[in-house]
Amino acid sequence: MIKTLSILIVALTLLSAPAFAADTAAQTPLTEQQAVELLQQGKAIYSCPMHAHVFSDKEGPCPICGMDLTQAKAIEKGEAVFSDAKPMPMMESK
Residue 13 domain-assigned? Answer: no
Residue 94 domain-assigned? Answer: no
**What's the pLDDT tens digit per position in 63-92?**
999 999 999 999 999 999 998 655 556 555
Q: What is the pLDDT of residue 8?
A: 57
Q: Are 60 and 77 in contact (CB under 8 A)?
A: no
User: Which residue segment(s) compose the domain that 76 sits in?
Assistant: 27-83
H or E, element range at 46: strand 45-47
Q: Are 75 and 82 in contact (CB under 8 A)?
A: no
pTM beyond 0.75: no
Residue 43 domain-assigned? Answer: yes
Q: Which region holds residue 49: left if phi is over 0, alpha if psi is between -120 and 50, else beta?
A: alpha
Residue 78 domain-assigned? Answer: yes
Residue 58 domain-assigned? Answer: yes
Residue 47 domain-assigned? Answer: yes
In the chain, the number of structural domains is 1
How close are the terminal C-alpha atoms of the chain, in Å? 81
The more confidently predicted of residues 19 and 66 is 66
Q: Are 19 and 10 in contact (CB under 8 A)?
A: no
